[in-house]
Amino acid sequence: MSTSEPVNIIMIGMAGSGKTTLMQRINAYLHEQNKAPYVVNLDPAVSKLPFQANIDIRDTVDYKQVMSEYNLGPNGGILTSLNLFTTKLDQVVSLVEKRASTTKYFLYDTPGQIEIFTWSASGAIITNTLAATYPTVVVYVVDTPRTASPATFMSNMMYACSILYKTQLPFLVAFNKTDVVGHEFAVEWMEDFEAFQRALRQQEDESFMNSLMHSMSLVLDEFYSHLRVVGVSAMTGQGMEAFFGKVDEAVKEYHDEFRPAMERQMEKKREQEKKDKEQQLQRLMHDLAVTEGKEVDL
């Protein structure tokens, strides 16, 4: 069975956002559509997965052993496990390439300790390597019920903004648990600045925090205008069709914007490396000429 170009989907979300459960729902949905995905688990500390992973970091790295061997805490153990796994990333890419002709979607589940993946060198290496291979989309999963207040909403949006500019990849915010609380309020706050201001004013607290959120909402207004958003429910499966519609939009953005920019950067890097080599050669030739023309004292 042949398929169109494969897509890497990297799932990122804070602990409790329902990221792994949403992965399970996406996996089940794709199986129902006869588009079975290739699943990669990058969380070494997870005790049990609700889905079958084709590649599991736990098969390569023993998280508890790493903690014991290097005398690390939980977060340090996860980070070191990711670092160790990254040394074998070429094998992962090779397996992905072998399945690319028969598999459309490649799903990557990341640690719930979100900062470990998004801000670590190993997380950047994994993300950049995947993005250099096939279209790659970063999905930031948000716990919708816990985002219903302006303060937590703003906190999530600031984190989304930081991840977007860190990865520089096509980005999708998935408001999860819409079976409990709809995400329409979040869309309204992003589209209507005054609506968010009204929500702020309804809070009794008129402290520095409200003033700060007012200022940040002004700053994020441009960010919202380019933000791709979808509401989903890992529990009921609501929003799956819309989710993949947004993924398709992100893939188009990858081809239209990210890929050309990456190729320009690679070309610029090659030109700089060529220039550096030429300068090194000139210095070497100059040093040889000076040495040959100099009397050597014995």
Q: What would the two tokens of residue 260 be?
A: 């050309």
Q: Is 270 exposed, middle or buried (0-12, 13-18, 19+ CB in 10 A)?
A: exposed
Residue 4 pLDDT class (50, 70, 90 cuts): confident
Q: Which of 29-38, 143-152, 221-230 has the highest mean pLDDT?
A: 29-38
pTM listed for this prediction: 0.86
Highest mean pLDDT among 2-11, 143-152, 254-263: 143-152
- Residue 211, pLDDT score: 75
Q: What is the pLDDT of residues 66-95, one digit of tens each?
A: 999 999 999 999 999 999 999 999 999 999
pLDDT surpassing 50 at residue 201: yes
Distance of alpha carbon 128 from alpha carbon 251, whole angstroms: 15
How many CA atoms within 13 Å lie on the side-chain side of 21?
15
So what's the pLDDT on residue 264?
A: 82
pLDDT tens digits, one per residue of 236-284: 999 999 999 999 999 999 999 988 887 887 788 888 888 888 888 888 8
Give 155's contacts (C-beta < 8 A, 6+ positions apart). Answer: none
pLDDT band per the 50, 70, 90 thresholds, residue 292: low
DSSP 14-44: -TTS-HHHHHHHHHHHHHHTT---EEEE--T
Quote the pLDDT of residue 204: 59
In this predicted structure, what is the pLDDT of residue 78? 94
Q: What does the pLDDT look like over 203-243, one tens digit per residue? A: 755 566 677 787 888 878 888 888 999 999 999 999 999 99
Average pLDDT over residues 107-118: 91
295 pLDDT tier (thresholds 50, 70, 90): low
Alpha-carbon Rg for the chain in angstroms = 24
State the greatest distance between any 2 C-alpha atoms of the chain, in Å, as a whole number.
88
pLDDT at 3 over 90: no
Chain-centroid distance of CA 44 in Å reads 17
Residue 254 DSSP code: I
Determine how many CB atoms are found less than 10 A away from the CB of residue 131. 22
Reported as type and span, the H/E element at residue 229 is strand 228-231
Of 37, 42, 49, 81, nearest to 63 (Cα)?
81
pLDDT tens digits along 155-195:
899 899 999 988 889 999 999 999 999 999 999 999 998 89
What's the pLDDT score for residue 298?
45
Q: Buried b / exposed e across 73-107, counting CB within 10 Å, b at 16+?
A: eeeebbbbbbbbbbeeeeebbeebeeebeebbbbb
Nearest Cα to Cα of residue 239 among 155, 178, 168: 178
Q: Give the integer Cα–Cα distance in Å for 249 and 135.
A: 11
What confidence score (pLDDT) does residue 76 get? 92
Where do the DSSP E strands lie in 57-165? 105-109, 136-143
